[in-house]
Amino acid sequence: MRIIRGFNRMFWYLVFSLCNTIEIRHDVAVIGEIIEELRGYSLVKRGAVIKNGSFVRFQSYIVNPRNLTMGSGSKLGVGAKLFLFDRLEIGDNVEIGSDLTVHTSEHRIVSPDLPLCKQGAIYEPVTIGSDVYIGSRVVILPGSIIENRVVVGAGAIVKGTLRSGAIYAGVPARKIKACESNEQN
């Protein structure tokens, strides 16, 4: 029975890997959509929770997909690298640009006498709220919380909490202005 379960996991890993290298969405839209669905389904079979209308673009690298939860209508951009040794929760209607990197662990440094590689790690979950836009090449570090309705500019490094209703950018990410409403009175 253990061999069958191992084979099942390996099969869905291979399906994800195959679908992850193919991007023909712009050439043949119907086949591209099928491959996108299959890529998400293979992640779900490996333990991820991905709700309706959400998808993961091609060339993504996800360590421990069982720690991934995506709300509905969310999109993870091309080439995302998710190192999920703890949970990553992504809310509804989140748009994430290409080359996102998320880390849920970091090295622990507690003793000057021990080699750095022998001091273990610290694991902290990352939370991304709903109605969030994250630009390309953003790095999100362990323990970060991005609240609802936040914009994170391209190339930012996120550590800590980004509060609702604002635009953040820079290294480290800092509030640069409030999100303005486009509603007309």
Residues 6+ apart with CB under 8 A from 140: 100, 101, 102, 103, 126, 128, 146, 158
Looking at the fold, whether 29 and 52 belong to one and the same domain comes out as: no
Looking at the fold, whether 24 and 92 belong to one and the same domain comes out as: no
Residues forming a β-bridge with 157: 139
Identify the sign of the CA torsion 63, 65, 69, 75: positive
**How would residue 97 be classed by pLDDT, with cut points 50, 70 and 90?**
very high
What average pLDDT does the structure give for the chain?
A: 86
3-class secondary-structure state, position 185: coil
Residues forming a β-bridge with 140: 102, 158
**CATH code, domain carrying 105:** 2.160.10.10
Catalytic, 107? Answer yes
For residues 130 and 147, what is the distance between their CA atoms, to the nearest angstrom? 7
For residues 116 and 18, what is the distance between their CA atoms, to the nearest angstrom? 37
For residues 83 and 119, what is the distance between their CA atoms, to the nearest angstrom? 19
For residues 92 and 53, what is the distance between their CA atoms, to the nearest angstrom? 10
pTM for this prediction: 0.81
Section 40-64 average pLDDT: 89
Looking at the fold, whether 36 and 53 belong to one and the same domain comes out as: no
For residues 47 and 96, what is the distance between their CA atoms, to the nearest angstrom? 21
| Under 8 Å between Cβ of 110 and 124 | no
- Tokens 């084979």 locate to 7
Predicted confidence (pLDDT) per residue in 10-50, tens digit: 676 676 666 666 555 555 556 667 777 788 888 898 899 99
Looking at the fold, whether 57 and 76 belong to one and the same domain comes out as: yes
Looking at the fold, whether 40 and 92 belong to one and the same domain comes out as: no
**Identified catalytic residue from 9, 21, 47, 107:** 107
Residues forming a β-bridge with 107: 121
Looking at the fold, whether 38 and 68 belong to one and the same domain comes out as: no
Looking at the fold, whether 162 and 130 belong to one and the same domain comes out as: yes
Residue % of the chain over a pLDDT of 70? 81
For the chain, what is the largest distance between any 2 Cα atoms, rounded to a whole number of angstroms? 65
Looking at the fold, whether 37 and 53 belong to one and the same domain comes out as: no
Residues 6+ apart with CB under 8 A from 45: 8, 12, 15
Looking at the fold, whether 76 and 123 belong to one and the same domain comes out as: yes
By residue range, what is the domain housing residue 118?
A: 48-178
Residue 23 forms part of a structural domain: yes
3-class secondary-structure state, position 105: strand
Looking at the fold, whether 38 and 62 belong to one and the same domain comes out as: no
Number of folded domains in the chain?
Answer: 2
pLDDT of 85 over the 60 cut: yes
How many CA atoms does the CB half-sphere of 117 hold within 13 Å?
Answer: 0
Section 91-117 average pLDDT: 93
